[in-house]
Amino acid sequence: MQIIRHSEQTLKTALISKNPVLVSQYEKLDAGEQRLMNEAFQPASDLFGPITLHSPSDWITSHPEAPQDFEQFFSDPYRKTPSPDKRSIYIQSIGSLGNTRLISEEYIKWLTGYCKAYFYGLRVKLLEPVPVSATRCSFRKPENAFCVVEITMIDLYPRDSWNFVSGQASDRWYSFFCFARYGSDFYSMRHEGKVKKLKKTSSSDYSIFDNCYIPEITSVLLFRSCKTLTHEIGHIFGLRHCQWLACLMQGSNHLEEADRRPLNLCPTCLHKLQCAIGFRIALVRWIDDESSGTPGATPEHSREGNGNLLKPVEAFKEWKEWIIKCLAILQK
């Protein structure tokens, strides 16, 4: 295992810059915000750790990129910032996301709520879901959209040289996500004998995907989905892959590496997002705000009649504790 450690001065420059204008801007931030982000270059801090590489196939090793500090982000003429008339993130599901209609609807609501809490201050809206067979139709971006994201359980890959992709920001306003491989049984499923008769279909016939594999919506799948969703939307804001500290914006080349990546942004990337939309931590409320199903119930045992399922947030426990530590620093 290789640990990537940067000097305190390197991390401080990446976070604040040496540009006097940006230094002055940073010093005008709320004192609590500065305390939290200054943890980036505090040797004794246990909030933000270094990046660890476990194999040559990890992203930083296999996809060399120039790092992006705050000054480079701030000076990027192409970065996208929400405006008063474009402050909405639209989410649309393609095909079913759960084994029942209720589970599918609740899952997309949980993702929407998480997105609202993570990008606090932006509106997050749902577009009408569409079947896979309808994806050949043209798509029109809502006028007030900051970005549009599409979510599916269909396994995807962008080109023949890739084996799959979990998420990709295709341009400055559009992203898509596939969460099929986040299911615990994806790699153990066996399909021998399920096809009784071969059927020739044209390359434009998408209806064959309408009854594809759909994983069980577990706490781990929700955790992984939230991580990919916010990572890719971060790219739409102009945040590139992080190479400073362990961070949500690290690239990942495989599921094991994606699981090591934290849900939180490092201070440098947090400063970038703060510059774009302001600063407020509302995620503890999202974790605690479990739907009013039967106490201790799972999606399979909750009462479908009341239209609510218990949000599976067990996988978020350690991260909630981390957020509470951050809040303590902010409110000190």
Q: Which residue has the tokens 């699981």?
A: 259
**Phi/psi of residue 15, each to 5°?**
-75, -45
Q: Which of 204, 212, 209, 277 is nearest to 238 (CA)?
A: 277
Structure letter (DSSP) for residue 156: B
Quick check: 225 and 215 in contact, CB under 8 A? no
Q: Which residue has the tokens 């939290």?
A: 36
Q: Which of 284, 135, 264, 103 is nearest to 207 (CA)?
A: 135
pLDDT of residue 159: 54
Q: Which of 164, 176, 168, 186 is nearest to 132 (CA)?
A: 176
pLDDT digit string (tens) for 115-130? 999 999 899 998 888 7
Would you call 195 helix, strand, or coil by DSSP? coil
**What are the tokens at 267?**
């201070």
pLDDT digit string (tens) for 170-227? 556 666 677 666 766 655 665 555 555 656 666 555 565 555 667 788 899 899 989 9
Mean pLDDT (the chain, rounded): 80
Record the pTM: 0.82
Task: Kindly write down the DSSP assignment for every residue of 273-323, as one continuous string.
Answer: HHHHH-----HHHHHH---SSSTT--TTTS-GGGT------GGGHHHHHHH
| Domain at 88-185+211-231, CATH from 3.30.70.1880, 3.40.390.10, 2.60.40.10, 3.40.50.1970 | 3.40.390.10
- Domain ranges within the chain, ordered by starting residue: 2-79+238-287+312-331, 88-185+211-231
**What are the tokens at 230?**
């916010």
pLDDT digit string (tens) for 232-272? 899 999 999 999 999 999 998 888 888 999 999 999 999 99
Residues designated catalytic: 232
**E-only strand ranges, 97-218:** 123-126, 145-152, 167-169, 174-178
Question: In the beta sheet, which residues pair with residue 148?
Answer: 90, 174
At 98, is the pLDDT very low, low, confident or very high (cuts 50, 70, 90)?
confident
State the alpha helices, DSSP H only, in the chain: 8-16, 20-27, 31-37, 59-62, 70-75, 101-118, 219-236, 255-260, 267-277, 283-288, 317-330
Checking if the pLDDT of 303 tops 50, the result is no
Average pLDDT (32-57) is: 91
Checking if the pLDDT of 292 tops 50, the result is no
At 297, is the pLDDT very low, low, confident or very high (cuts 50, 70, 90)?
very low
pLDDT digit string (tens) for 8-21? 999 999 999 999 99
